[in-house]
Amino acid sequence: MVMKDYIVRATAAHGQIRAFAVTSRDTVEKARAAHNTSPVVTVALGRLLSAASMMGIMMKGDDDLLTIKIESNGPVEGLTVTADSKGRVKGYAFNPNVIIPNNSKGQLDVASALGLGVMSVIKDIGLKEPYVGQTILVTSEIADDITYYFATSEQVPSSVGLGVLMNKDNTVEQAGGFIIQLMPDASEDIIDKLEKRIGEIKSVTEMLENGMTPENILEHILGDMDLDVLETIPTEFYCNCSKDRVEKAIISIGKKDIQEMIDDGKEIEVNCHFCNTKYTFSVEELKDILEKAR
């Protein structure tokens, strides 16, 4: 039976540690199917979607929105994902079809597919200006890059693990990850204990291969540090696009361009970047849109 995707939010060491873990197979498979991504791109996008789902629920407001954008010099060129505070994520790769040789360990080579670049984390939490944190990619494997972001932009010492396993038919077998963070009041003892523990734990890939749930993952890492599971939140790949929203986007490009489309005499097709849904507009519909643009 396939488990539905969810995030677990927990604390440990009486609030000195906060922790998140996610199982995200369906989310990543939906992204793969929507964008027809190659295996290495599925893994890259899947890791970022899994991280974003956990970072999304760290935000408090109903309308808060997190965007993580990677821009890099490898063949994929970049990724964009967004997450809300309710566990909904969506995203895409700039080049979804990249195929490159595996790395020296025989694994899909996410680092080479992305290459060197910059990661921007944009949090729109209802303030006048969104918060933007920008860091360089340190390994381009994504988990390390998110860890580095937390350390340098948010000054929160963190441990991040992310993994996506592929089936032989290139669908997603398993996906998930964790984020463990030290709170400002963490004692030296707890910091030392957690550091030692993080050095000993299995890789996320191994945990997923062993069928570990988010609860199992947190238990494995924090089981002897008074782990307290607070909440379970469903997560999914979800896009809020609609024909109405696309119509508003067409209106915004202006009368002149809409008139040109009408003069071409053909229906137009607009794809949503995030979920690849196609919207078509007939010439008649374009004429109605032109009226609204006046």
Rank residues 273 and 292 by Cβ distance to Zn ion and give the closer one. Answer: 273
- Cα 31 to its chain centre, rounded Å, is 10
Please choose, out of 45-53, 110-118, 140-148, 266-274, the segment that lies near Zn ion by the rule CB under 5 A. 266-274
Q: Identify any residues that bridge with 269 across adjacent strands, giving them in sequence order.
A: 280
Smallest distance from Zn ion to CB 3, Å: 25
Smallest distance from Zn ion to CB 166, Å: 24
Rank residues 137 and 239 by Cβ distance to Zn ion and give the closer one. Answer: 239
Smallest distance from Zn ion to CB 115, Å: 27
Say how far apart CA 3 and CA 211 lie, in whole Å: 11
Angle at 214 (CA atoms; ends 154, 275), nearest 5 degrees: 70
Residue 31 contacts Zn ion per CB under 5 A:
no
Q: Name the 3-class secondary structure at 270.
A: strand
Binds Zn ion by CB under 5 A, chosen from 148, 274, 279, 281: 274
Tally of CB atoms within 10 A around 216: 16
> Would you say the C-alpha torsion 200, 20, 67, 166 has a positive or negative sign?
positive
Rank residues 139 and 240 by Cβ distance to Zn ion and give the closer one. Answer: 240
For residue 124, what are its two tokens?
């729109």
For residue 156, what are its two tokens?
């929160």
Please choose, out of 142-150, 235-243, 259-267, 278-286, the segment that lies near Zn ion by the rule CB under 5 A. 235-243
Binding-site residue total for Zn ion (CB under 5 A)?
6
> Would you say the C-alpha torsion 252, 93, 210, 151 has a positive or negative sign?
negative
Binds Zn ion by CB under 5 A, chosen from 10, 43, 275, 286: 275
Rank residues 73 and 271 by Cβ distance to Zn ion and give the closer one. Answer: 271
Q: Which helix (H) or strand (E) holds 120?
A: strand 117-124
Rank residues 233 and 239 by Cβ distance to Zn ion and give the closer one. Answer: 239
Binds Zn ion by CB under 5 A, chosen from 43, 241, 250, 258: 241
Binds Zn ion by CB under 5 A, chosen from 28, 272, 286, 289: 272
Residue 81 contacts Zn ion per CB under 5 A:
no
Residue 239 contacts Zn ion per CB under 5 A:
yes
For residue 97, what are its two tokens?
């079809």
Residues 68 and 41 sit within 8 Å (Cβ to Cβ): no
Tell me which residues in 113-172 interact with Zn ion (CB under 5 A): none
Say how far apart CA 194 and CA 187 lie, in whole Å: 11
Say how far apart CA 112 and CA 74 lie, in whole Å: 6
Rank residues 54 and 239 by Cβ distance to Zn ion and give the closer one. Answer: 239
Fill in the amino acid letter for 261.
M
Tell me which residues in 196-215 interact with Zn ion (CB under 5 A): none
Rank residues 241 and 261 by Cβ distance to Zn ion and give the closer one. Answer: 241
Smallest distance from Zn ion to CB 239, Å: 3
Residue 89 contacts Zn ion per CB under 5 A:
no
For residue 240, what are its two tokens?
């809020």
List interacting residues with Zn ion (CB under 5 A). Answer: 239, 241, 272, 274-275, 277
